[in-house]
Amino acid sequence: MSIMIIGAGLAGLSAALTLAEQGTACTLVSAQASERAQSVMAEGGINAALNTMGEDDSVANHVADTMRGGVFLADPNAVRGLCAGAPAIVEKFYALGVPFSTNQNGIIQRNFGGQKKKRTAFVKSSTGKMLMTALIDEVRKYEVRGLVKRLPHHRLNTLHIENNTCRGVTVTDTFSGQNITLSGSVILACGGMSGLFEGLTTGTTQNTAEVAALCLEQGVELANLEMIQYHPTTIGISGKRLLITEAARGEGGRLFVNRSGKPWYFMEEKYPELKNLMPRDVVSAEMVAVTARDDCEKQVWLDMTGIKKKVWQSRLSDLRAQVMHYLAIDPQRQPVPVSPGIHYFMGGIRTDAAHRTSCKNLYAAGECACQYHGANRLGGNSLLGAVYGGKTAAQTVLQEAQPIDPIAPCADIYREASPRFRAAVSNILGRYLKILRCESELLQAQSELNALEPSAQNAAEARLLRLAQATVQCALLRRESRGAHRRTDYPDTDPACQKQTVVNRTNVFYRDIPKETE
Amino acid sequence: MKLLIEILRQADAVSAPYRQTIAFEAQPEDTVATLLTELNTADGLCDTNGKPVGTIHWQCSCLQKKCGSCAMRINGVPRLACDVKLGECKNGKLLLEPLRKFPTVRDLIVDRSVMMENLKAIHNWLEQHAHHSQKAADLSYDASRCLQCGCCLEVCPNFCADGSFYGAAAFVPVSRVLSQLTKDKPQELSALYKKNIYGGCSKSLSCHAICPAEIDVEQKLANSNAVAVWKRYFK
């Protein structure tokens, strides 16, 4: 059997390791080295009901928080698998050498948004980087043993799909321009769609959205594209949004706005149970609401001055260094101005609980896949979802992969959208796919995107534009407010819309969410 | 601010390099990474001789000092483009060149795969479950932050891409694994460390000063020597 993994971040590495541990070889394709993947930027932690904090945590609690946080739009069976698999994943990373903070009971866990128990294992606020370093080292062992063959500096050129069956890929070496065509099963693990919102996200420039665009063009279904997470605490810096990790609030940071000249800790007043740690969609929407009030200033602040010095040193030293470097503000001494920014894409390539896409022999995992997070992702569930998703996809491939006849070499020249075209698309989506949306603005977005069609210079630009249009179509279809999708013209959550929005080459429609099985 | 930008360009791996100078109005608070993005989206940009600039090829990813992708020589010093603000440029001049210790691919892009190959050659992985201790936890955290950007190798007097000395880009990650080994289960890593790092380092420690992640590189070298050479394992 021949297996190709597209993307070498956490999900791709997890898939590669799962295959290698079973003695199965794979080809691991990435545009840059794993050290450059967006996974290294994940900060606050990874969720697992380890129950080390004396709070009677359980897998059932983790499932309940994840489903409620996602406003019941995720597949409950997939979420149950994710949460049940989480403790073993964190224990494995500890065995691989990740220096999680520990005490006499085991791995320490911190509070995180939308969760009623301390459930987030962490290494300061560099958890993603720590997991990645350990996983890169472990996969390296299998590279030397010949089970993982890396194709670094390669991009996906074409998916070879016939009769809704994927037969392989053609990838292009970005250094030499040479193509390589490989037949076999394919796992896509290529990250979220930040490339639709260039300069407006906390993510990397490498998550270009070109693979999602290629999938859509080739008939693979995408889902829930309207579910775009705005993280409440980001700051605009040169060329991007800088994330202030949710761990800052998990360790005691407080949001306030000046109202009639006095600080108003609005989250604490409105949500006395979880306060500043309500799910991200709720916090971001509240920030928009308070700054729109006549009696409030337009800036929300994150006050971390009450966090103890010891916590800063042991758990947040890297966050402080980052804020001081990019903002010249010492967060230990003065509040930091924050505003919501695009951070995560809950939608993407539609997968089932086993990480199959709508196309046979094609699988997807990590942020590129629509799975686990429903209408809003909880902090700490992205690292978990990437590792568990990669592992699950690989296990499914191991069960299903069949020999595939070699496919003819493909000589198509790799094309990408120009920076100017990307900027034009991002400009439109950024203006209209905001935290609060309404039909008239979404129709305006559609109209402006349609007007861009004649300026698409190549196939890559045409399909990127089509992906942008599909995203707006999903947002138009969902006539309700749920999680990250807030419609001013449909402000209520509609039980009839508790479905996935699905888009394919020709249609956008609703699909039922799987029923919970025993 | 008015900026005069000189870029060492090269069309591909085999073409001759050439210098191109561009006059550009920039913001002092912007980074070199943002400047390169702006240059690549500017309408009809020409150099000081009136020649079209075209796309300037460079690599980036996180844009916030967490991935090491955008390492290049900036005014003669290897740094991350996302780390350098234009206000730092003295006399309004900015010189951008690719790292010299690695083969140039195109313009400011170099092939740094030798770093990953060296980590394979030195067997940098755990053969057993990690042994955790408080001292090892602090060291592991710091060592695991290595970006594999290559800045340390650029300034190292002992490293060359086809040589047998692997430099700080290897011994910093290696120190993480060494700190989690136990005396009763040694690994081949120690012997390879002696051959490819201990034996070739002249202790100039230029790597320590240049690290954009501000890793305590000197400490990693000392701790790795202690484990691999002197068999003083972490308890």
pLDDT single digits (tens) A366-419? 999 999 999 999 999 999 999 999 999 999 999 999 889 999 999 999 999 998
Q: What is the DSSP letter of A140?
A: H
3-state secondary structure of A197: helix
Amino acid identity for residue A360 in this structure: K
Inside any domain, residue B147: yes
* Chain B: closest CA distance from residue A90 (Å): 13
A205 to B60: CB separation less than 8 angstroms, yes or no:
yes
| Two structure tokens written together for A74 | 């995720």
Residue A111 in domain: no
Phi then psi for residue A21, to 5 deg, are: -65, -25
> Is A297 within the bounds of a domain?
yes
* Residue B190 lies inside a defined structural domain of this protein: yes
Q: How confident is the model at residue B229 (pLDDT cuts 50, 70, 90)?
A: very high
Nearest to A206 among B61, B116, B173 (CB): B61
pLDDT at A103: 87
Do residues B88 and B130 share a domain? no
- Burial group, residue B25, by CB count within 10 angstroms (0-12, 13-18, 19+): exposed
* Residue B87 counted as domain residue: yes
Residues A444-464: b if buried by 16+ CB within 10 A, e if exposed: ebbebbeebeeebeeebbbbb
Other Cβ atoms closer than 10 A to A426: 19
End residue of a domain, out of B62, B84, B110: B110
A292 found inside a domain: yes
Chain A residue with the nearest C-alpha to that of B56: A419
Compute the distance between CA of residue B204 and CA of residue A240 in angstroms, rounded to an integer. 37
- Calpha distance A91→A50 (Å, rounded): 9
pLDDT, residue B184, reads: 87
Q: Which helix (H) or strand (E) holds A217?
A: helix A210-217
Per cent of chain A over pLDDT 90 is 96
| Total domains in the fold of chain B | 2
pLDDT for the residue B197 = 97
Assess whether B117 and B138 both reside in one domain: yes
Whether the predicted pLDDT of A100 surpasses 90? yes
Measured distance CA(A105)–CA(A118) in Å, rounded: 14
Q: Single out the catalytic residue among A155, A280, A377, A487.
A: A280
Which of A117, A122, A127, A108 is CA-nearest to residue A65? A117
DSSP codes of every residue in B90-139: GGGEEEEE--SSS-EEETTEE--HHHHHHHHHTT-S-SSPPPP-HHHHHH
Q: Collapse the DSSP code of A281 into the 3-class scheme (helix H, G, I; strand E, B; otherwise coil) and give the result.
A: helix
**Four-point Cα dihedral A414, A415, A416, A419, nearest 10:** 130
End-to-end CA distance of chain B: 55
Q: Name the domain boundary from B64, B82, B110.
A: B110
CB contact under 8 A, A239 and B63: yes
At A81, is the secondary structure helix, strand, or coil? Answer: helix
Q: Which of A153, A322, A419 sits opposite B40 (nearest CB)?
A: A419
For all residues of chain A together, what is the average pLDDT? 96
CA distances, A84 to each of A47, A127, A353 (Å): 11, 21, 13
> In the sheet where A336-345 sits, what is the strand order?
A240-243, A228-237, A336-345, A296-303, A254-259, A262-264
For residue A269, count other CB atoms closer than 10 A to its CB: 9
Contact between A191 and A367 under an 8 Å Cβ cutoff? The reply is yes
Has residue B187 been placed in a domain?
A: yes
Query: What domain range is B64 assigned to?
Result: 2-110
CATH number of domain containing B60: 3.10.20.30
Q: Determine the pLDDT at residue B6.
A: 98
Percent of chain B clearing pLDDT 70 (strictly above)? 100
A239 inside domain: yes
pTM of the model: 0.97
Distance from CA of B141 to the nearest CA of A (A): 6
Eight-state DSSP code of residue A112: -
My answer on whether B86 and B185 are in the same domain is no
Q: Minimal Cα–Cα distance from A332 to chain B, Å?
A: 20
Question: What is residue A360's DSSP assignment?
Answer: B
Is residue A282 classed as helix, strand or coil in its secondary structure? helix
| Catalytic status, residue A249 | no
Which residues span the domain enclosing A320? 231-340
B58 half-sphere exposure, CB direction, 13 A CA radius: 33
User: Is B86 found in the same domain as B135?
Assistant: no
Q: Are residues B155 and B134 in the same domain?
A: yes
Give the other-Cβ count within 10 Å of A177's Cβ: 10
Of A9-23, A264-278, B175-189, the range with the lowest mean pLDDT is B175-189
Continuous H helices in A71-192: 76-95, 127-144
Which chain B residues have a beta carbon less than 8 Å from that of A322?
Answer: 64-65
- For residue A105, what pLDDT band results from cuts at 50, 70 and 90? confident
Residue of B nearest to A201 (CA): B62
CATH number at B205 reads 1.10.1060.10
pLDDT surpassing 80 at residue A518: no
Q: Same domain, yes or no, for B150 and B84? A: no
Q: Do A37 and B67 touch (CB under 8 A)?
A: yes
CATH number of the domain that residue A245 is part of: 3.90.700.10
- Cβ pair B124:A322 closer than 8 A: no
- Residue A100 CA to residue A90 CA, distance in Å, equals 9
On whether ipTM exceeds 0.85, the answer is yes
Q: Which two tokens stand for residue B220?
A: 């990693």
What pLDDT is stored for residue B148 in this prediction? Answer: 98
Closest residue by Cα to residue A282 from A70, A472, A433, A494: A70
CA gyration radius, chain A: 22
Please say whether the beta carbons of B71 and B108 come within 8 A. Answer: no
Residues of B in contact with A124 (CB under 8 A): 141
What's the rounded Cα separation, in Å, for the pair A365 and A344? 14
Specify whether the CB–CB gap between B171 and B224 falls below 8 A: yes
Best of A35, A91, A92 to mutate (most B CBs within 10 Å, chain B): A35
pLDDT digits (tens, 9 = 90+) for A411-429: 999 999 998 899 999 999 9
**pLDDT band per the 50, 70, 90 thresholds, residue A13:** very high
Query: Rounded CA gap, A443 and A471, in Å?
Result: 12
- Is residue B72 predicted with pLDDT exceeding 80? yes
CA B115 to chain centroid, in Å, comes to 10
Q: Is residue B205 part of a domain?
A: yes
In this predicted structure, what is the pLDDT of residue B135?
86
Check if the beta carbon of residue B148 is closer than 8 Å to that of residue B68.
yes
- What confidence score (pLDDT) does residue B216 get? 97
The token pair that represents B62 in the structure block: 């996180």
Residue B233 lies in a domain: no
Q: What is d(CA A34, CA B201) in angstroms, rounded to the nearest whole number?
A: 27
Q: Are residues B196 and B173 in the same domain?
A: yes
- Is B235 within the bounds of a domain? no
Q: Is residue A191 a contact partner of residue A338, using CB atoms and an 8 Å limit? A: no
For chain B, the DSSP string reads -EEEEEEEE-SSSSSPPEEEEEEEE--TTSBHHHHHHHHHHSTT-B-TTS-B--PPP---SSSSSSS-TTEEEETTEEEETTT-BGGG-GGGEEEEE--SSS-EEETTEE--HHHHHHHHHTT-S-SSPPPP-HHHHHHHHHHHT-----HHHHH-SS--TTSS---HHHHHHHHHHHHT--TTS--HHHHHHHHHTGGG-----HHHHH-TT---HHHHHHHHHHHHTT-----
Domain boundary among B110, B126, B141: B110
Same domain, yes or no: B104 and B7: yes
CA distances A516 to A77, A79, A81, A355, B204, Å, are 6, 10, 12, 17, 63
Share above pLDDT 70 across residues of chain A, in percent, rounded to a whole number = 100
Q: Are residues B103 and B32 in the same domain?
A: yes
Please check whether residues B147 and B99 belong to one and the same domain. Answer: no
Q: How confident is the model at residue A476 (pLDDT cuts 50, 70, 90)?
A: very high
Instruction: Categorize the per-residue pLDDT at A278 as very low, low, confident or very high, splitting at 50, 70 and 90.
Output: very high
CB-count burial class (<10 Å; 0-12, 13-18, 19+) for B220: buried
* Residue A495 counted as domain residue: no
Backbone angles phi and psi of A340, in degrees to 5: -65, 145
Inter-CA distances, A477 with A428, A471, A492, A507, Å = 19, 10, 15, 11
How many Å apart are CA A121 and CA A110, to the nearest integer?
Answer: 7
- A474 contacts A484 by C-beta, under 8 angstroms: no
CA distance, residue A204 to nearest chain B CA (Å) = 4
In a domain, A126, yes or no: no
Q: How many domains does chain A have?
A: 1
Which chain A residues in 97-116 lie under 8 Å from chain B, judged by CB atoms? 97-99, 102
Domain match, B123 and B224 both: yes
State the Cα angle at A484 between B64 and A422, rounded to 5°.
50
Q: What is the reported pLDDT for A1? A: 80
Please determine, for residue B97, whether its predicted confidence score (pLDDT) is greater than 90. Answer: yes
Q: Is the pLDDT of residue B7 over 90?
A: yes
Q: What pLDDT does residue A104 have? A: 86
In this complex, the residue of B64, B126, B145 whose CB is nearest that of residue A96 is: B126
- Decide if A280 is inside a domain: yes
Residue B48: inside a domain, yes or no? yes
Residue among B59, B125, B136 whose CB faces A137 most closely: B125
pLDDT for A318 beyond 90: no
The region that residue A184 occupies, defined by phi over 0 for left and psi between -120 and 50 for alpha, beta otherwise, is left
Write down the pLDDT at residue B156.
98
Residue A36 belongs to a domain: no
> A206 touching B, CB under 8 A?
yes
Reference A373, options A510, A223, A511; nearest CA is: A223
